[in-house]
Structure 1
C-alpha cells in the first residue's frame, strides 16, 4: 500500500533539539506537508466523525518522557511507545476509548532516551531476559518512513543480550528492516483476519495479500514471526472464511521451518467504546449487541462484552484445530 502521508504536521519546538526531530521535519518538508511549530494541536471539525477523520491525518512531533514502563501481559513484560495512535481506521479498535475524541498521532523523536529507559528495565531484571512490546498504542511500522525509529530499536535489541522486542503491524512497508543484523531478537507479528473483516472494518490498512507478502519478506530475512488473529468474529460463513485464511497462510508460508506463533483474540467491546464507534462510524455493521454477549472484567478496570462461554469455546477450539492441522511448527501463545 502507499505510505501514509499526513495532511498537517505540528512540531513541538523542543523536538527539534533531537536529530530524529530534524530528520522527520526534513521528510515532511520534502512532502510539502504544512508544518506548524506549536506545543498544542488544534483540530476543529464540525462533528465528532470529522474530528476523528481530521485527527487521523494529523501528526505531532514531540518527546516521550515516560520513565516507568507499563506491564503488557500476555504479550510481553513491558510496553513502550515510539508513537501513539495510527493511520488505520479500524472500526473495532480498542484504542477508541484511550486516544480521545481527536486521536492524532504523536510521534516521539527522543529515541535514544527511550532506549535508555528500556535498558534500565533490562538491567533491573537481570539475569533474566526481558521482553518489550512496541505496538500497544500504535502501529510502529505505519510511521516508520517518517523517523526510522523502529529500525534503530531493532538494531539496539539485536545487540542486546537480555532484551527482546515484539512488533505488531497491519502495514507492509517493511523493506527497511530486511538487512538489519537483528540476531533473531525482534519478533514480527502480523495482525491478520478474514478478507471479509479486513475489507469491512480495517480501513486504511494493508490488504490481506499485502500483509502476506510483507510477512514472507520478514520470514525470509530470518526474523521470528507470528500472527495475531484479531478480532475473531462470528458471522455468516465465519468458519469457512477462517479456514480459507489459514489455507492461504499455509500456501504462502508452508515451507517455513521455524516456529510460527499465533495469538487469538475474540471480538470484544466496552460500553464506552460502543458509544464512540457508533458516533464515528454511524453506518458500522459491527455486531455490538450487548444482549448476545456476556460481561467480563477487564484488566484496566472496565467491563467488556465478549462472546458467551459456549461460543467463545467454539471459537477457540475451531481456530486452534485449523492452526494445528495446517502448521506442525505452530504454537498458540494464548486465547482471550
Structure 2
C-alpha cells in the first residue's frame, strides 16, 4: 500500500489501532473536520481515481457495519453478508466497478475495533449460519500491512461457531495471519485470472504464481481456501488459458482444502466504459459482444457466456468432482445449461454454500 496523503477525521480517537496505522504509513497525518477536504483534494487531480488510490481517509463508518449483499432480483444471489470495513482499493484493475460506483472514489478506512466487535457479537448471537466477507467494497487484504483489523477479525471469528469469515484478495498479504490460531473459521480466497488478463488489466496486483504460492502457504497453516474466477474475460484462446489456471490450482493445493469456487463473466455499468477508455487506453476489455442485462449492466451475449462456463466447469470437475462450483449473478437458463440444475427456491444457493462452509470450516451442524 503506497499512501502519499493521509487524512484523519478529527473525531477519531488516537488509540492503539490508529497509532499502529499511522506508524505503518509513511505520510504525515492531516486532521480534517469533514470529508469535503478529502473530496476536494481528490477531485482537483487530473485523474481523481488514480489520486484516490494513494490518498487514505481514516473515518468512522456512518452506516451499517454488517449488511446483506446488494445482489439483484433478476440473477441468483448467494446470500452473502458484508462486513463493511472500508472502501476502494490501492490496486488498479481496468474493469473495477468501484471506479464508477463511488463519486468520487475515496480510499476509506473505517476505524473502530469496538464498533466491529459489537456488530459481530450481535451476528454471532443469531441462530443461523453466516458467510461474511470484507471484500465487497475493497480488497480484504490491502489493509493487512497497515491495520490491526485482519488479525483482529481472524481471532474474533475463531472464538465462535456459526460464522465463516472469507477474506478475498488479489494480494499476497497474509504474513500476519499465518501464525494465528484461526480455529478453521477463516477462508482465505483469491480472485484468479489468466496471466494475460493479470498483466494487461490488473495493475498493481500479485502475479498468478504469487497468489498460488500464498494459497499454498495458507493451506500449510490449516486455512481453508476459495477461488473466484470473476470476471472471466472472453478473448481468443481464453478457454485454453483458463484451463491452464485451473490445472495450476490443483498443482498447488489440495481440492480438500477448497470450500468453493465461484465463476462469473465480465459485466459492467454502461458508464464504466468511458472510464476504461479514458484511464486504460490500451485496454480492449469493454469491446466484446455485450448486451444490456436485466440488471442494467452490460453482459456478454448469453451463448458466449454459456460456452465458456461449460468449459470452465468441466475442467474443474475433472480435478475435483465433488467441489462446490457456483455462479455469481446468473439466471436460470445459464444454471440449467451449465450445471444441470437451478437453485430455484429463495435462499437455496445460500443454503448450498452454508453446507459447504459447515463441512469444511467446523461450524455448527445443528444450525443448518
TM alignment of 1:166-205, pairs within 5 A: 166-205=166-205
Which of these residues, 77, 80, 83, is aligned with residue 80 of structure 1?
A: 83
Q: CA deviation at 1:158?
A: 0.6
Distance 1:116 1:131 in 2: 18
Change (3 A) 1:175 1:76: farther
**Aligned residue in 2 for 1:209:** 209
TM alignment of 1:163-312, pairs within 5 A: 163-253=163-253, 255=254, 257-289=256-288, 292-298=289-295, 303-312=296-305
Change (3 A) 1:161 1:108: same
Contact 1:258 1:329 in 2 (8 A): no
Contact 1:75 1:133 in 2 (8 A): no
Secondary structure class of the residue paired with 2:90: coil
**Aligned residue in 1 for 2:140:** 140
Asked if 1:37 is matched to 2:31, the reply is yes
Change (3 A) 1:186 1:46: closer
Q: CA deviation at 1:61?
A: 1.2
Q: Provide the alpha-carbon RMSD of the alignment.
A: 1.9
Asked if 1:93 is matched to 2:64, the reply is no
Change (3 A) 1:18 1:34: closer
Distance 1:169 1:267 in 2: 17
Distance 1:261 1:129 in 2: 16
Contact 2:91 2:205 in 1 (8 A): yes
Contact 1:111 1:149 in 2 (8 A): yes
Q: Deviations over 1:123-172 (max 9, x none)?
A: 3xx32122211110001211221112011011111101222211110000
Contact 1:18 1:110 in 2 (8 A): no
Higher relative contact order (CA 8 A, sep 6+): 2
Distance 1:7 1:223 in 2: 34
Q: Which runs of 5+ in 1 are unaligned?
A: none
Change (3 A) 1:76 1:23: farther
Change (3 A) 1:162 1:257: closer
Q: Deviations over 1:247-306 (max 9, x none)?
A: 2222212x45334421001011121221222232233221335xx2222222xxxx0111
Asked if 1:333 is matched to 2:326, the reply is yes
Q: CA deviation at 1:46?
A: 4.8
Q: Which runs of 5+ in 2 are unaligned?
A: 72-76, 331-368
Q: CA deviation at 1:82?
A: 1.7
TM-score normalised to the size of structure 2?
A: 0.81
